[in-house]
Amino acid sequence: MTWFDLLVQLKATSGLTIGEIADKADAPKSTVSKIMSGHAPNPSVDVLTRIVYAMGGTLDDIDPKSNTKGPIFTSTELELIKKYRTLDGYGKKMVDMILELEIQRLADQAAEDELAPNVIELPLFDQPASAGYGNWLDETISEPIPVPDTPTTRRADFCIRVSGDSMEPKYADGDLVFVRKQDDVSVGEFGIWVIDGSAYIKQRAANSLHSLNPEYDDVEQGENVFCVGKVIGKL
């Protein structure tokens, strides 16, 4: 007979419903339901213990050695349980206090990790891409910076800051744009272009590089103009 069979017998003896067991064990009803239906073959020691106690049983009512799917408790856990039972009231209170402090510490840490966004690193060029009259783009001068881990940033090869207002309102001075390396972009798409050694962010037109701000003239394409990447997003 497995520990699960013994657990089912204990439930039948208790006469409690899943909801009542969950309330007494201070555990989610869905978790208790999964365990009692056999869909959680390796439940945590803490939750299983509370479920057993909620049904009026003790750990002696389930035999971990008979579990054919693998023991519920490790040998270390069993040894700790044995030691805990030898303590007096004061000793058990001290152990319980430490356990609660550690559980809270881990919960706080998990909450902080959940709030903190996942990040990746992308190379950032020291010099910005001009949205005006151009800046030098030197591929050897860059530094990695942390950026949010998103589908867009995972597709980017580098990032660069916008300088100037020729691409407003879409790209403003100071914006950080994400760029995927490629030697051309389609008409209507935005790219980083090197013109006479200076880097620009522009929209590709049929035969020119277009500035969204009407105060700036478009740039004619020629032999001294080449694309280094497609702008795929901004921060």
pLDDT value of position 180: 92
Domain ranges of the chain: 3-115, 119-234
Contact predicate 201/231, CB 8 Å:
yes
Confidence of residue 75 (pLDDT cuts 50, 70, 90): low
pTM: 0.48
Q: Would the CATH topology of 3-115 be identical to that of 119-234? A: no
pLDDT tens column, 102-123: 888 888 777 776 665 677 878 8
**pLDDT reading at 72 higher than 60:** no
Q: Which pLDDT tens digit goes with each residue over 153-174?
A: 889 988 888 888 889 889 988 8
In the block, residue with structure tokens 């207002």? 165
- What architecture (CATH level 2) is domain 3-115? Orthogonal Bundle (1.10)
CA 178 to chain CA centroid, nearest Å: 20
DSSP state of 71: -
From residue 96, give the alpha-carbon distance in Å to each of 20, 87, 175, 187: 25, 11, 52, 67
Closest CA to 123 of 149, 152, 155, 156: 156
Rounded Cα gap, residues 160 and 138, in angstroms: 11
Q: Which long-range contacts (CB under 8 A, 24 or more apart) does 14-19 make?
A: 14/55, 14/56, 14/57, 16/54, 16/55
**Annotation: CATH topology of 119-234:** Umud Fragment, subunit A (2.10.109)
